[in-house]
Structure 1
Amino acid sequence: MTIHIGINNLRRHAESTNAAVREAVDRVLGSGWYILGRENDALEEEFASFCGANHCVGVANGTDAIELGLRALSVERGSRVVTVANAGYYTLTALSAIGAVPVFADVDETSRLMSIDHLGEIIAQGGIDAVVITHLFGLLHDMDAILRITEPAGVPVFEDCAQAHGASRTGRRAGSFGAAASFSFYPTKNLGALGDAGAVVTQSDDTARKVRQLRQYGWKSKYEVESPHARNSRLDEIQAAILRSKLPSLNDWNTRRREIATRYSTEIHHPRVSCPPVYGEEYVAHLYVIACDDRQSLRAHLSAMGIGTDVHYPIPDYRQLPLVGSFADFALPVTEKLAHRILTLPCYPELQDEEISHIIDSINRW
């Protein structure tokens, strides 16, 4: 029998959520209201409550959520924003749209998250207007440690939670720590729509008000424009309803993802493969990423065994073409090292136990 295990399997996910999603779509079709209606209002209330935040503002996608959230925090052209370079250029897309200047911090080799020590050095040098903390691969950063650095300097922290829906530390969930936070609901996310969708979460009434204006032409009231740099970035009612139908299952899905990750971390035994530690609720296993000294050989071996893999992410942001001229002589040692060694394994709730065993056995026999 031919084995094929994809890096993800949205068909299985669709089958498992079919009834709830169809009911949600039918509810919207019957309402006759398709943009910024009751479903959007309800999702915003429910997801804000889930995150432990005062406000959630639905937008068209996760990248818009980063941009509009940063704009609401007064990040503007020329603002200097600390970020990592190992997270797929999404924050850089937003910073480029704003005209803000990236200041790259290296990452910790084990967690792959922003180095707290390097962030401290950058903040101490001064001249920083904001920090974007990306909870990469589903691992919630130590936000208390981050805020101990940024708060005395008066630097706002923006959380990129696109891969960390539901991750928690000390009873607080991703998105509830910073001045604001972005979420993506792209179909492959831990909580995914059936198309693009995103949200900004914040504790601040004023920040939420600004994002609501920025997502809809800058309107103060209908046809009265108050905010510059706005756009049409509205979350439609169908996607909102679909997300509402899935939200009650998110904790269970995250638990299953952690179970899979724990099996990998405890059962993969290969001298040339490094696995992440076993984490608790601070990790929702959006991606399970190993490191090895010969990635191409391992990928080829796993492909021959019917196992799909990917690389998240192969090129540091400062080596991407739009930034090469500005960062020609720049390099971050840990970021560079990881870019050549990391490899993503399948990790999603619908992955079957025997498939997990096959993946583990195939790596151990490499």
Structure 2
Amino acid sequence: MWEQYKYSSLPPTLEASTHSQSTKSDASNSWSVWCCHTWITCLSFVILLVTLPISIWCFLKIVPDYERVVVFRLGRVRPSKGPGLVLLLPLIDQFQRIDLRTRAFSIQPCKVKSRDDVPVSVGADVQFRVCDPVLSVLSVQDINIVIQNTAENLLAQSLGRKYLREIYGDRIRLGEHFKEDINEQVKPWGVCVERADLLVEAVLRPHEEHVNVPLTTPVVNPNGGLEQLIMQFVSMTNQVPSTDAKPSADLSLEEIVRRLEGTLSESLVSEVRSSYQLYVVEKDGKRSACFLDLKSGSGLTGMGVLCSPPDVTLEITEADLLSLIQGDINPLTAYTTGRLHVTGNLQTALRLEKVLPKIMSS
């Protein structure tokens, strides 16, 4: 039934005549608008001259070097003006000052989950400036709020795709990538980001995640940077309880497993509830295996490979394993520095902090 409402195409001659008529109409409209615009502008000049010298004090603006003035004449934007003296026409000109100096804002530390499902408290310091005054006025209403919201969203998205080791070890490189991501977003707004520094403040313990308690005592360093990260690693190492009884440097893997077997209990199983497969690379390059099953009963440990698939697989050298047991390094520090390789959930691997002190005291 709708076919009766379809229009047939116009003949070529009629279509050409219609197009020429519309072109003439547009040309006449643009010509009339231009004449009206010119007439109003000339009238504004006349008013400016008649009201001299009072009009000079009202419509002559002094623009410093760090500012530009975006002028709207009869609602249409004109190229930015300044620095120096800028003359505005009365009644038809509106202007807006744009500061070209570098601005900065801080993204407050927020909890972000890394790719290996570890919550990390990460903030950032961002510096930006306006490169194109006209675009900054036409694109957004409040450039500061828009850029800050954009940076916060991009920070959560970019770090959510990175492993914890990358966040700690490649913080400078991630900051450069973060700056490039923001620049891609804010370039159409006439803004360029000059610097973006990531601030990794704390790693939250998995079992204390609901109370938002950091693994380390926050280190207050107004300058941030690499010094803050090093001080955090030192504080993490100092948190491992020290005891008088430490294994000797020549302690074998079999002796470690024997001591570990004496520490197993139902309370430890209720706290950990995970199974681990550990591969130790000895000094001669030999690769030995042992396991720790803390899922049921009083737990089970021994040499060899676990009969069921483990929750986490760990690989470490013999010297680094002894350092972990002695408390010389922290499991998180060993992971972020590449001395401990983890396959599986990193939060589950960090629960070994409950087991290591018991080996030292046995």
- Higher RCO structure, 1 or 2 (CA under 8 Å, sep 6+): 1
Q: Which TM bucket (shorter chain)?
A: under 0.3
What TM-score results when the alignment is normalised by the length of structure 2? 0.25
TM-score, normalised with respect to structure 1: 0.24
